[in-house]
């Protein structure tokens, strides 16, 4: 019976992605090495392991919205869900490498985006939790099916510059902010009434008033 192990070996942004998209390089190893794997359907839950890194003072200030004051982090600094991803592996024996795509967003209403935006440098510690289905060939040649073991996981430290560079490419010097419709209409009316050409001018005036 297959016994799969997973390891993330790298990450890079999609070169021509319409939306921000990261490709994680995923190495899959099976034991026994001579067993023929027909395909693997993979689901991955990706968590941010927030307690697994140090934070500068400015980062701690920006992370208060997520975790509260730093003197409370002993009980509030916990893993946060980032994303779910899916992929499939072609036939192989022994080892194979595939790409695990993860679509990203700069929506500042999401906890994961707030976390990434708060950082200045270093690595982002990630935990990958795997599930799915393995299709393999038994010794008698028959096709067999079994689930991926529930305890399969791996950690990876993604360079912050990878995420930052991708977002700067898609949204240069900008972020996304979601507003409820009634609040947007009030803000839009304020912009029209004062003759502001841009949203930046509108919000700047409100902040300085």
**Each residue's pLDDT tens digit, 196-209:** 888 889 999 999 87
* Tally of domains within the chain: 2
**Each residue's pLDDT tens digit, 18-36:** 889 999 999 999 998 889 9
Whether 8 contacts 85, CB under 8 Å:
no
**Each residue's pLDDT tens digit, 158-194:** 999 999 999 999 988 887 778 889 999 999 899 989 9
- Domain co-membership, 101 together with 83: yes
- Domain co-membership, 133 together with 201: no
- Domain co-membership, 104 together with 136: yes
Q: How many helices (H) and strands (E) does the chain have?
A: 7, 9
- Domain co-membership, 183 together with 118: no
* Residue-number span of the structural domain to which 153 is assigned: 3-177
- Domain co-membership, 168 together with 183: no
In a 3-state reduction of DSSP, which class is residue 52?
helix
Cα angle 106-114-68, degrees, rounded to a multiple of 5: 170
CA 110 to chain centroid, in Å, comes to 12
pTM of the model: 0.87
- Domain co-membership, 187 together with 143: no
């Amino acid at each position: 019976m297959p016994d799969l192990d997973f390891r993330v070996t790298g990450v890079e942004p999609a070169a021509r992605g319409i939306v921000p998209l990261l490709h994680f390089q995923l190495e899959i190893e099976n034991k026994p090495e001579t067993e023929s794997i027909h395909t693997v359907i993979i689901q991955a839950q990706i968590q941010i392991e927030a307690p697994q890194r140090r934070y500068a003072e400015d980062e701690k200030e920006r992370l208060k919205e997520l975790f509260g004051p730093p003197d409370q982090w002993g009980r509030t600094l916990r893993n946060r869900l980032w994303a779910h991803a899916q992929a499939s592996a072609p036939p192989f024996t022994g080892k194979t490498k595939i790409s695990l795509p993860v679509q990203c967003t700069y929506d500042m209403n999401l906890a994961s985006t707030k976390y990434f935006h708060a950082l200045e440098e270093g690595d982002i510690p990630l935990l990958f939790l795997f599930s799915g289905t393995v299709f393999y060939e038994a010794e008698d040649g028959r096709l067999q099916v079994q689930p991926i073991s529930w305890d399969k996981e791996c950690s990876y430290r993604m360079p912050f510059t990878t995420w930052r560079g991708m977002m700067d490419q898609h949204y240069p010097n900008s972020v996304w902010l979601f507003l409820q419709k009634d609040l947007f209409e009030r803000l839009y009316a304020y912009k029209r009434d004062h003759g502001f050409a841009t949203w930046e001018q509108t919000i700047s005036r409100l902040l300085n008033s």
